[in-house]
Amino acid sequence: MAMPTAGIIAALWTPTDAQGRVIETGLAANLAFLRQRGVHGLMVLGSTGEFARLSLEARLDFLAAVQRHCGDWPAMANVSDIRPDAVTALGRRAAELGYSSISLLPPWYYPLAQVDLAEFFVREAERIALPLFLYNFPERTGHRISLETIATVADRVPLAGIKQSGAEFSYHRELLALGRPRRFVVLTGADSRLAEAMALGVTGAVSGLANAVPELMTAVYDAVRAGDTARVNEATGRLVELTRRLDAVEFPLCVAAAMAARDLCVGEPKCVVSAATRQRYDQLVTELRQLFHEWSLR
């Protein structure tokens, strides 16, 4: 597999059954849907893929299932875990399967000094021996990866890039300034602000919404590159509207609702879902079906 460093990189949904097993036929259909609509690459087992709710065995199985269906499509494996031995096992399996790179979040829950965070990233990159994408999402992990930590990692192991997610959009600027002389890319997780991020120098997005509306994400990316302001504004406006509606249901169940509205395979919930939340979910699916019909999204 090639390394995904630019374009729309789908933070791939993980369709599983009630026992937590991968629904491979559904996965294959979802991948075909993304490929037909011009998605440029994949992040496998990311936040949208609910990796933290999957057993280590299921994650290893999913890495192999994706590899069977994506060929040389650019793909990175997110091997994040609070346990270093699990990170190593996932990363080495990804290397065996032919993944070009790994991504890593900071370990979560416990306090962690930045010097120890840097050492964690470096040691895992050395053990796995694949180029590394750092994954900054402090709202989920409780740890913001500092510029000093990123610089330390980049000076010691091959750093391919960093994905910036969360509320601190302005951090893209500092990351880009650090990355230019060190030759690593910055990818955004801010789907509806992709055009703004690209104007700063971001090379693309690792996108949860690309699972459901890849046409909108690729439309923004292509239009920015072509200088087509009208098309940028139209597609961005739709992404903003979609994001607003998705607030009715918690992440990442809201992504599943958007996928279900397009008859894509989402499988069974990986968490306990109340009757009240199921009702909100079903209502959101109904509303999005109508919205997608108005937008002529098949």
Q: How confident is the model at residue 11, as a pLDDT?
A: 98
Q: Does 276 score more than 90 pLDDT?
A: yes
Residues contacting residue 28 through CB under 8 Å, at least 6 positions apart:
69
Q: Does 298 score more than 80 pLDDT?
A: no
The model's pLDDT over 15-49, given as tens digits with 9 standing for 90+, comes to 999 999 999 999 999 999 999 999 999 999 999 99
The model's pLDDT over 88-97, given as tens digits with 9 standing for 90+, comes to 999 999 999 9
Do 3 and 100 contact (CB within 8 A), yes or no? yes
Residue 278, classed as helix, strand or coil, is helix
Do 241 and 191 contact (CB within 8 A), yes or no? no
Residue 232, classed as helix, strand or coil, is helix
Q: What is the mean pLDDT of the chain?
A: 97
At 113, is the pLDDT very low, low, confident or very high (cuts 50, 70, 90)? very high
At 240, is the pLDDT very low, low, confident or very high (cuts 50, 70, 90)? very high
Residue type, 143: H
The model's pLDDT over 55-65, given as tens digits with 9 standing for 90+, comes to 999 999 999 99
Which backbone phi and psi does 61 adopt, to 5 degrees? -65, -40
Mean local confidence (pLDDT), 227-236: 98
- Can you point out the beta strands (E) in 84-194? 101-104, 132-136, 159-164, 185-188
At 71, is the pLDDT very low, low, confident or very high (cuts 50, 70, 90)? confident
Percent of the chain with pLDDT strictly greater than 90: 98
Q: How confident is the model at residue 72, as a pLDDT?
A: 83
Q: Is the pTM of this model over 0.75?
A: yes
Residue ranges covered by each domain of the chain: 7-228
Q: Which CATH superfamily is domain 7-228 in?
A: Aldolase class I (3.20.20.70)
